[in-house]
Amino acid sequence: MDETQSDSLPPLTAATIKRAQEGLAAARDRDVRHAMEKTLDRLDPLSQEYPESRASGRLRRFVLRSLLHALFRIRVEHLERLPNESAILAANHLNSIDPLLLLAELPAQPYYYVFGDGRALYNKWWKRQILSFAGGIVPLDRWWKEEKAVIEGAKRDRADLVELAKSIERDVPTGSDMPTLRQLNRIARTILMRGEGIILFPEGRLGTAEGKLYLPLKRGTSIYALQAGVPIVPVVLIGTQDLYLWKELTIRFGEPLRFPQSKRPKRQEVDAALEALQAALVALLPTDYQEPEGLKLCRYFLNHMLW
């Protein structure tokens, strides 16, 4: 099976357009924006408006394991490769459940923070309540693949999508502005300096197929690792693209990747680290994944419960 995916976008179905509309609504929602800003203020060493609050790693792990093991059969391969020190876990990304799955199986210490899509995490009131208690989240701004599909469709021949595309470009932050990038850099550096860990999804979006990576990978993973002098641990998740009750899901850890620390990494250093990470992830991916056949209970609910 081909282990990469090109810059493909989902087809412009009614479901894709509806999802883009939901994303726009979340971007305009004051409660969502406030929750994201408040969370970042709690973590930013230059803006400690609120004290950081979070559940213990032990409690978080217990709750997530209890829930997920009741729904799925979870297989963990080579957990012993995970170093007992500050590190960056870099994983492929197929479903919104992926960060919860990782947190359920990681040791309680060191404590890991998840860098994840803010609108997907905070778009429902009950999610905001849970995350306000649990903590451990660094929300990111980025366009969803459905929003990109709408924008591209409007540029081609879909006149009915022009207004929606304009609204997305106007109201949905991309997270690529320099103040945001500097703030995330400060937060990442602070977390790693404290001896804690970070979970990143360097594809920058949800993939669309098992056994494939969405390329190119984002450079933030290697930049954070080089600046802090911490290892990158490649991790692949297998089986999460399509969920149903009691499905077997696999977490496969790779050997840590270590690079010389560089406070101001050069582009070639960043690219070399990123190439090593890509190769390690590709080597861990399944080459012959076959989606199981048979009865798939609660399939729609489990695939959409975190939307």
pLDDT 10s digits, 54-66: 889 999 999 999 9
pLDDT digits (tens, 9 = 90+) for 137-174: 999 999 999 999 999 999 998 999 999 999 999 999 99
Residue of 19, 30, 35 whose CA lies nearest to 205 = 19
**Inter-CA distances, 198 with 106, 285, 295, Å:** 12, 21, 36
Split at pLDDT 50, 70, 90, the class of 46 is: confident
Range 119-148 average pLDDT: 91
Range 84-98 average pLDDT: 96
Give me the sheet containing 137-140, strands edge to edge. 73-77, 248-253, 232-238, 88-91, 197-200, 112-117, 137-140
Q: Count how many residues are written for the chain.
A: 307
pLDDT digits (tens, 9 = 90+) for 256-267: 999 999 999 999
Split at pLDDT 50, 70, 90, the class of 1 is: very low
Residue type, 194: R
Containing 31, the helix (H) or strand (E) segment is: helix 30-43
Write down the pLDDT at residue 49: 64
Q: Is pLDDT above 90 for 133?
A: no
Percent over 90 (pLDDT), the chain: 86
d(CA 127, CA 11): 28
Q: Is pLDDT above 70 for 50?
A: no
Structure tokens at 306: 């975190």
Q: Is pLDDT above 80 for 5?
A: no
Q: Is pLDDT above 90 for 283?
A: yes
Please measure the distance between the N-terminal and C-terminal CA atoms of the chain and give it in whole angstroms. Answer: 29
Give the distance, in angstroms, between the CA of residue 55 and the centroid of all CA atoms in the same chain: 20
Give phi and psi for 272, each to the nearest 5: -65, -40
Split at pLDDT 50, 70, 90, the class of 51 is: low
Range 103-125 average pLDDT: 94
Write down the pLDDT at residue 10: 87
Residue 29: how many CA atoms within 13 Å on its side-chain side? 18
Split at pLDDT 50, 70, 90, the class of 131 is: confident
Q: In terms of pLDDT, which residue wins out, 133 or 108?
A: 108
Range 237-261 average pLDDT: 97
Contacts of 157 (CB under 8 A, 6+ apart): none
Backbone φ/ψ region at 299: left (φ over 0), alpha (ψ -120 to 50), beta: alpha
Question: Rg (Cα) of the chain, in Å, rounded?
Answer: 19
Residue of 177, 144, 138 whose CA lies nearest to 22 = 144
Range 218-227 average pLDDT: 96
pLDDT digits (tens, 9 = 90+) for 167-205: 999 999 999 999 999 999 999 999 999 999 999 999 998
Split at pLDDT 50, 70, 90, the class of 53 is: confident
**Inter-CA distances, 305 with 5, 19, 121, Å:** 26, 14, 12
d(CA 152, CA 156): 6
Q: In terms of pLDDT, which residue wins out, 280 or 10?
A: 280
d(CA 178, CA 6): 27
